[in-house]
Chains A and B, each alone.
Chain A
Amino acid sequence: MASKTTNLVADWDPNRAAEIINAHLGLEGPALPILHGLQAAFGCVPSEAIPMVAKALNRSRAEIHGVVTFYHDFRDAPAGKTVVKLCRAEACQAVGGREAATFLLASLGIGWGETTPDGAITVEPIYCLGLCAAAPAALVNGEPHGRLDGMALIEAVAEATQS
């Protein structure tokens, strides 16, 4: 978790955060929609937002921290410019997914969940994109790619980083 005194989010805006929180308060069970909204706006769930969410929902900060940290999706700092969500699950394993992943990670010099030092590329493990009949599969900046191998994966990532 990010230190509470360090602002990792360059475009942190408490007014915008409040707007996002307020926009969802009419929902039944608004916590996840709020957190998704914050992450969509700031690239992560900024630590500054947690007390705001807690207050709005009449829950403790610890509880909201607990919710944020439970779910793999929610980040405490923004990801790299290009995000590769690469499937690690069985259907992709069966057609060379492990090898493709190893190839990509080695060529980028990072591990699962890490970002390249220049902040360009983050590789996140994901457990199933439902593209199991066109495996191995990945989402690169949200774009789906199937029937991948190591080279095709690197090409897809290179294309995304250039656009």
Chain B
Amino acid sequence: MIRLFVPKDVSALAVGADRVVKALTQQAGEGVQIVRTGSRGMTWLEPLIEVETPEGRIAYGPVTPADVPGLLAAGLLSGADHPLRIGRPEDHPFMVRQTRLTFARCGIVDPLSLDDYRAHGGLEGLTKALAMGPEAVVAEVTASGLRGRGGAGFPTGIKWKTVADAAADRKYIVCNADEGDSGTFADRMILEGDPFCLIEGMVIAGLAVGATKGFVYSRSEYPHANVSFTEALILAREAGLIGPDVLGSGRSFELELRVGAGAYVCGEETALLESLEGKRGMVRAKPPLPAHIGLFGKPTVINNLVSLASVPVILAKGAKAYADYGLGRSRGTMPIQIAGNARYTGLFEAAFGITLGEIIDTVAGGTLSGRPVKAVQCGGPLGAYFPPSLFDTPYDYEAFTARDGLIGHGGIVVFDDSVQMGAQARFAMEFCAIESCGKCTPCRIGSTRGVEVIDKIMAGTEAAANMAVLEDLCQTMKYGSLCALGGFTPYPVMSAVRHFPEDFNGSGISAKVPAE
């Protein structure tokens, strides 16, 4: 039996993976099994198909249905040479430079096979956690230096300790999988490509802090991920990984998937909790922290999906092994997601400390269009635009903060020199206006006023005076907003103004994009 591997990740489906599978099924003949996997993260090569050979898995991509007859004739099934052959994926320069810890299995295993999961190191972390006991698990996660991968960078272990120490009849683990930042897809890739890893991380969290119920809050924009994660939950329950008696330990942990309804602000942790409770996704004032008063008023660990999915490998390999990677106070690895106008797009998991320039010029290979890079937006729609002059910035929470930016959830969107930064600044304000929960005034009204004042600047109407208004408005939003939506929208706006003043010269070139 020859095994072929074709991703079922939605990024592969979006460029025709199912049509390639259909062609292979019809043409490859008897004795060929097609295994659907997650994505390796080399998205520019999707659909990337692999064949199992004595030399390891050999990849070909990007493959179209029209390529299939030629590939088979050339000897695809024995890994033979072909213009689309890229060799063993792990030998590809894009993969060689990576440190795959959290995404070690993604793209390799059948995401819905627990046997495959175990064969690739799955459940080692949970097995150790059960042997160690709750306090030691919390200490281990603290010692690993793991910080919130959603962007805030709060130490995960301290959050867990707070919930573990809280006395309550019921506690919750909530996974924030409301990955709304443009340029990010790491959560989605785990949900589709290695769902048991998230389940294992949440079970460990539940055992460590004494929580018996978990929720994964995903997005309606991720229908494929939600279907596959639902299947994974069923399999996990059948196998006793979740349920009344986790792996025979006598401990109970239930897990449920919930799906949002298209509100970006629900990625903010307190808005997410409100939404889970069935309310409008309005941000809560903090304190109280969710660790004290969280979901349904109970102590709640709310972590980003990547944070939770990093826990199994931390327990399996030990805190020190994880903390040995990284720089300064940013320990371990980060799945950097390269998107937009880049030649090599995809997911690149690396230890903190790699410079932005290395990521853009070497890993991403510059722009897809071949034109010069003008700006990269790091950390989603609330992240700053970095010009190439700042490409020496190391990928590290503090280093980005020092340059008025943020790494956020790890997204990097590359723009070539055709981008008009006034339009991008306007979009940042427009997006904030569309997605504001409306609770605080700086965000609710500031964003709409921001769109108007940028339009005036772009139209050349009292440009200097209006620029002063814009700066003042951004200060008010930054310091007066309740959460990061209003508080961070000034980052893309002001970085565009500071680094690209020529795009705000009041020349009358409108920054308007098609209206809502």
Question: Which residue numbers of A lie inside 8 Å of B, CB to CB?
Answer: 27-33, 35-36, 57, 63, 66-67, 70-74, 85, 87, 89-95, 98, 101-102, 105, 111-113, 125-135, 137, 139, 142, 144-147
Contacts and interface: CB of A to CB of B under 8 A. Distances in A.
Interface in B326-360: 337-341, 345-347
A129 B221 contact: yes
A95 B278 contact: no
Closest 7 CB pairs of A and B: A31-B278, A94-B340, A146-B14, A89-B182, A132-B339, A71-B261, A133-B43
Name the residue in B279, B281, B339, B377 with the highest tally of chain A Cβ atoms < 10 Å from its Cβ.
Answer: B339
A41 to B, nearest CB: 15
Interface string B377-410: 1000100000000000000000000000000000
A35 B10 contact: no
B515 A111 contact: yes
A96 B366 CA distance: 17
Contacts of B263: 70-72
A126 B11 contact: no
Nearest to A69: B280
Contacts of B431: 89, 127
A57 B434 CA distance: 29
Contact of B340 (A30, A129, A135, A145): A135
Contact of A127 (B182, B275, B278, B346): B182
Given A71-B281, A125-B516, 11 more contacts: A29-B278, A32-B275, A67-B278, A71-B260, A93-B424, A94-B414, A98-B514, A130-B222, A132-B185, A135-B340, A147-B14
Name the residue in B13, B221, B222, B431 with the highest tally of chain A Cβ atoms < 10 Å from its Cβ.
Answer: B221
Contacts of B341: 94-95
Interface in B181-228: 181-185, 187-188, 213, 220-225
A67 B279 contact: yes
Name the residue in B180, B182, B256, B279 with the highest tally of chain A Cβ atoms < 10 Å from its Cβ.
Answer: B182
B321 interface: no
B261 A35 contact: yes
Interface of B: 10-11, 13-15, 43-44, 46, 179-185, 187-188, 213, 220-225, 256, 258-264, 275-282, 296, 337-341, 345-347, 368-369, 377, 381, 411, 413-416, 419, 424, 427, 431, 434-435, 437, 513-516
Contacts of A113: 516
Given A130-B10, A135-B340, A66 B280 contact: yes
B261 A74 contact: yes
B11 A146 contact: yes
Nearest to B217: A32
Contacts of A105: 514
Contacts of A137: 14
A32 B182 contact: no
26 contacts: A28-B296, A36-B259, A66-B280, A70-B263, A71-B260, A72-B263, A73-B220, A73-B260, A73-B261, A85-B221, A90-B340, A90-B413, A90-B424, A93-B419, A102-B514, A111-B514, A129-B221, A130-B187, A130-B221, A131-B11, A131-B185, A134-B11, A135-B340, A142-B223, A145-B14, A146-B15
A134 B43 contact: yes
Contact of A91 (B46, B180, B182, B213): B182
A147 B15 contact: yes
A133 B514 contact: no
B402 to A, nearest CB: 23
Given A32-B278, A91-B183, A102-B514, A133 B261 contact: no
A57 B281 CA distance: 18
A74 B263 CA distance: 11
Contact of A130 (B184, B281, B514): B184
Contacts of A129: 10, 221-222
